Structure 1
Amino acid sequence: MHTNHPYAELPMRHRGKRPARRRAGISLAEVVVSIPLVGLVMVGAMNATGSVLRTWSQARESYQGHSLGEQLMAEVLQQAYEDPDDPPTFGVETGEPVAVRTAWDDVDDYYNLSQSPPRTRAGAAISGYTGWTQQCSVVYATLADPTQASATDAGLKRITVTVTDPAGRATVLTAYRSRWGAGEQPPAVDTTVQGYVSHDLTAGGGTLRGGASLFNHAE
């Protein structure tokens, strides 16, 4: 017979041990294996970044070199085939200053121009182009083969503008000016015209200079 007693022993449940909780983390062996893998990934990423930056820098300098060349070429082509005021002399005529180009009025005044850094026609250095060089040569060209120089004036001049960046990369532009071309038809009265329109774009510590030549003739 079962008797309820206040001190009767109650059945006890058997509790097993709780499974040990695993600690999150990595082992020393995993660290040792991952170090060279991470290093390889970082080296690849740095190489890719460096390649992108070099490509961007080269593209920017190529663009700048072409723009500087276009700017100087537009200035040269604005001038007359030969001096309209003085007896024709190949090169800068007497009384025309060498350091400032505001008095230059024919294309062969530029035949031996070399300036570093590039300068405006008024002689002011163009900001942001330290280490760059602008050069211009003008020669008589033969009519049968304009790529060949001529010892005498056959009515054609070949103009070559060379822009060299600080790394030594050169951008070369070539143009021709004829004694009988449309540029030798001056306006009936003195007129002020614009020969070149430029713009500067500054971003990320760099400057891109661009522009376009306007084929206006100024006498």
Structure 2
Amino acid sequence: MFPDRGFDAFLFDMDGTLLNSIAVAERVWGNWAIRHGLDPVAFLRTIHGVRAIETITALQLPGVDPLAEAVAINELELEDMEGIEAIAGVVSFLEALPADRWAIVTSAPRQLAERRLAAAGLVPPAVMVASEDVSRGKPAPDCFLLAAERLGVRADRCVVFEDAPAGIAAAEAAGAAVVVVTTTHTHPLETPHPGIAHYEHIAGRPRTEGPLDLWHRG
């Protein structure tokens, strides 16, 4: 997929990238939007890839405490794992990667991320950056920069797998290459980056020494 470029590590967003949690998001956030007098259809388009506290803060709703509401949303999401499933081919794709060469970088709190990964049958990597690990969430690049640092590599030597505009912007700002995962997209996303619908026909292949290659298997 990047014939002239190898990578020191792969960085993965979680929701919409490794697993499909769209049903949970629509239930929990849709009900929250209705309670606050928002149009749920329009509002749900704004939540993907962004931390809950920043989503709520941006609304500037009178009398609403963003931190308290984000905590409440998290509690509801922790209770709802129905319909969460791994994206096709992702289990074998991840299992083939060297354990010290990939990380998860999610806007979800760590406890929620761990619950969702378990529900999808995915094993967390040694390095996972969650919402509470950074003071600025996506589209700021902080989370990807931190993940690269924890893996002992440079962010511009990584490829990021993302599904949401905020995450793509964060990866670009970090200097990383980007692959857009389109599994949960209902409309085409305008982007210059390569895209995949699932992981069934790609593989991360370590060279004998040095970088990882990302390639199509067929």
Same fold by TM-score, threshold 0.5 exceeded?
Answer: no
- Larger Cα-atom Rg: 1
Structure whose residues are more often helix by fraction:
2
TM-score (norm 2): 0.28
TM-score normalised per structure 1: 0.28
Task: Give the structure, 1 or 2, with the largest relative contact order (CA under 8 Å, sep 6 or more).
Answer: 2
